[in-house]
Structure 1
Amino acid sequence: MVHLLFVVMWIGGAIALTIVLFSVHPETGDGLYMKSRIIQIIDDFIIIPGAMGNLLIGIIYGVWTRFGFFKFRWMIVKWILTVAQILFGTFFLGPWVNENVKIADELGKAAFSNDTFQHNLEMNAIWGTVQLLLLLFVLVVSVQKPWKNS
Structure 2
Amino acid sequence: MKTLGSTGRSWLKGFHIFFACLWIGAAASMILLTFVRGHIIDGDELWAVHASIKLIDDYIIIPSAIGCLMTGILFSLLTNWGFFKFNWIIVKYIINIAAILFGTFFLGPWVNGMEAISKVDRLLALQNDTYLYYLTMNKYFGSLQAIILIIAAFISVFKPWGKRETNKKKAKSSLS
TM-score range (shorter-chain normalised) is over 0.9
Deviation at 1:82, TM superposition (A): 0.7
Q: Is 1:19 aligned to residue 23 of structure 2?
A: no
**SS of residue in 1 equivalent to 2:84:** coil
Residues 76-131 of structure 1: CA distance to partner in whole angstroms, max 9, x if unpaired?
A: 11011110011000000000000111111111121110000000011000000000
Residue 34 of structure 1 deviates from its aligned partner by: 0.7
Write the distance in 1 (CA, Å) between the matches of 2:28 and 2:100. 16
Letter in 2 for 1:145: K
Identity of aligned residues (%): 43
2:84 matched residue in structure 1? 70
**1:26, 1:51 → 2: CA distance?**
30
CA–CA distance in 2 between the matches of 1:12 and 1:20?
12
SS, match of residue 162 in structure 2: coil
Aligned partner of 1:43 among 36, 46, 57: 57
Contact kept, 8 Å, 1:26 with 1:35, in 2: the verdict is: no
Q: 1:103 corresponds to which residue?
A: 117
2:44 aligned to 3, 21, 30, which one?
A: 30
Between stretches 136-145 and 22-31, larger displacement belongs to 22-31
Alpha-carbon distance, 1:56 to partner = 0.8
Cα distance in 2 for residues equivalent to 1:59 and 1:147: 20
Amino acid at match of 2:27: A
Hey, which bits of structure 1, 4+ residues long, moved more than 6 A?
none
Tell me the TM-score normalized by structure 1: 0.97
Q: Secondary structure at the match of 1:90?
A: helix
Q: What's the CA shift string for 1:30-73, capped at 9, x where partnerless?
A: 11101111111111111111101001111111111111111100
Instruction: Say whether residues 1:129 and 2:143 are aligned partners.
Output: yes
Give the TM-score taking structure 2 as reference length.
0.83
State the secondary structure of the residue aligned to 1:66: coil
User: Does 100-109 or 88-97 show the bigger shift?
Assistant: 100-109
> Quick check: 1:52 aligned with 2:66?
yes
Shift of residue 23, structure 1, vs aligned partner? 2.5
The answer on 1:5 being equivalent to 2:18 is yes
> Could you say what secondary structure the match of 2:74 adopts?
helix
Distance 1:20 1:60 in 2: 33
